Amino acid sequence: MKNNLKLHDKTFKPFIEYDKIEKAIDEVAAKINKDYADSEEVPVLLCVLNGSILFTAELMKRLEFKCEIISIKLSSYSGTRSTGQVREVMGMTGSVEGKEVIIVEDIVDSGRTILDLKRILDEKGAKNSKVCTMLLKPASYKEDIPIDYVAMEIPDDFIVGFGLDYDELGRNYKDIYVLDTNMKYFILFGPPGAGKGTQAAAMAERFNLCHTSTGDLLRGEMAKGTELGLKAKALIEAGSLVPDEVVEGMIENRFNTVKGVDGFLLDGFPRTIAQAEALDKMLYKTKNKVTAVVSLMIPDEMIKERIKHRAAIEGRADDANDETIANRIATYHEKTEPLIDYYRNAGVYFEIDGTGTIEEVRERIAELCVSL
């Protein structure tokens, strides 16, 4: 089966393979053939555009009695949520007056569309109508109207493929994909001054992630003068790491309290193998794992230049003297760089050229993340 699909800002994972779809269409077509085998009627198939184009074509090929086809376009979705309102967007392309109609739908969800179609068909004088859908979501179907022919039932998830779209993309895929609702855990990795904090905002906004910088959290504690802040101050100002358990606790607290995001963007964590192992354990509890480590690569000389430049603007205590900066760089090489192999072995490590303008680096990161 295929890999994940990336459509606009969302990831979809393989859900129903084409072979299974074909088989389900064979079965539903056989039922319809049986019902119409001895009928005098020449029913009209009403293809509900755009979603049911593929299904209608596949279904029609299998029908063994005389039938006509017309189409109608309605819209009931905006993004991934049903708006609950159905509009007639494009009129019907042929007459249904006095005829028997088989409404052909790609998916029946809340049933609002079916309700509106039945009303429209009544208004236009159809003799009677039946409903045939490729997919039915029994958990969300709220109407009393019977769905006469159902190829497949699915849970209440957002899907694309085989005619179904997410903001107009995805209709062309012959397999069906489901929205990947797993949380994403990105690590923005790199030496001091690599541009982690600078790049984090755009990345977090684009992918709806919670930017979590352990450095910023620790500086917040220092500014508030908390016990933790006081303990961290001396270590940070010496360019050393604070104890693993302190930052691990901060991260776990963020995971447990932040809601409404599609994932987390970790900046400055993990910084030791022990922290990486602790992170794996935290994620394992919720059946998650690190999505990708985005490593910003810049040479040591550039680190110093950038930090000196920042010292003049932000006045961070650990940017203030050469000795602290040198110690931070040495700490990175000694304690943090071993994580490269750790994540390379896990198959989630990706290097990005961190030199060039902020916009250039941002584009490189976005390109990578969209391709994952």
Q: What residues make contact with ligand AP5 under the rule CB under 6 A? A: 190, 192-198, 213-215, 218, 235-236, 239-242, 247, 268-269, 271, 275, 306, 309-310, 318, 328, 357-358, 361
Minimum CB distance to ligand AP5 smaller for 24 or for 340: 340
Q: Could you count the other beta carbons within 10 Å of the beta carbon of residue 110?
A: 17
How far is Cα 22 from Cα 39, in angstroms, rounded to an integer?
A: 26
When CB distances are held under 5 to 8 angstroms depending on the partner's kind, the choice from Mg ion, ligand AP5, none that residue 357 binds is ligand AP5
Minimum CB distance to Mg ion smaller for 10 or for 271: 271
Q: Which stretch binds Mg ion (CB under 5 A): 193-201, 218-226, 307-315, 318-326?
A: 193-201
Radius of gyration of the chain (CA): 28
Q: 24: buried, middle or exposed (CB in 10 Å: 19+, 13-18, 0-12)?
A: middle
H or E element, residue 102: strand 100-108
CA terminus-to-terminus distance, the chain: 17
Q: Which stretch binds Mg ion (CB under 5 A): 173-181, 197-205, 245-253, 288-296?
A: 197-205
Minimum CB distance to Mg ion smaller for 126 or for 218: 218
Interaction of residue 14 with Mg ion, rule CB under 5 A: no
Number of residues that bind Mg ion (CB under 5 A): 2
Minimum CB distance to ligand AP5 smaller for 292 or for 329: 329
Minimum distance of ligand AP5 from residue 75's CB (angstroms): 43
Minimum distance of ligand AP5 from residue 299's CB (angstroms): 13
Give the nearest residue (CB) to Mg ion.
197
Selected binder of Mg ion within 94, 197, 220, 263 (CB under 5 A)? 197
H or E element, residue 203: helix 196-206
| Binding characters for Mg ion, 138-177, by CB under 5 A (x = yes) | ----------------------------------------
Give the nearest residue (CB) to ligand AP5.
215
**22 token code pair:** 């074909």
Minimum CB distance to Mg ion smaller for 71 or for 336: 336
When CB distances are held under 5 to 8 angstroms depending on the partner's kind, the choice from ligand AP5, Mg ion, none that residue 112 binds is none
Minimum distance of Mg ion from residue 343's CB (angstroms): 19
Q: Which stretch binds Mg ion (CB under 5 A): 67-75, 139-147, 192-200, 352-360?
A: 192-200
For 289, half-sphere exposure in the C-beta direction (CA atoms, 13 angstrom radius) is 5
CA distances from residue 122 to 63, 149, 287, 357 in whole angstroms, order as listed? 25, 20, 50, 63
How far is Cα 158 from Cα 63, in angstroms, rounded to an integer?
A: 29
| Binding characters for Mg ion, 284-313, by CB under 5 A (x = yes) | ------------------------------
H or E element, residue 323: helix 322-331
Question: For the residues of 159-180, what is the DSSP string, one character each?
Answer: EEBTTB-BTTBSTT-SSEEEE-
How far is Cα 340 from Cα 270, in angstroms, rounded to an integer?
A: 11
**263 token code pair:** 């994932």
Q: Which residues on adjacent β-strands are paired with residue 84?
A: none
Minimum CB distance to ligand AP5 smaller for 120 or for 352: 352
Minimum CB distance to Mg ion smaller for 196 or for 328: 196
3-class SS at 355?
A: coil
When CB distances are held under 5 to 8 angstroms depending on the partner's kind, the choice from Mg ion, ligand AP5, none that residue 214 binds is ligand AP5
Residues 45, 149 contacting (CB under 8 angstroms):
no
**148 token code pair:** 């006469």
Minimum distance of Mg ion from residue 179's CB (angstroms): 32
Single out the residue of 140, 93, 152 nearest to residue 112, CA to CA: 140
Minimum distance of ligand AP5 from residue 340's CB (angstroms): 15
State the residues that interact with Mg ion by CB under 5 A. Answer: 196-197
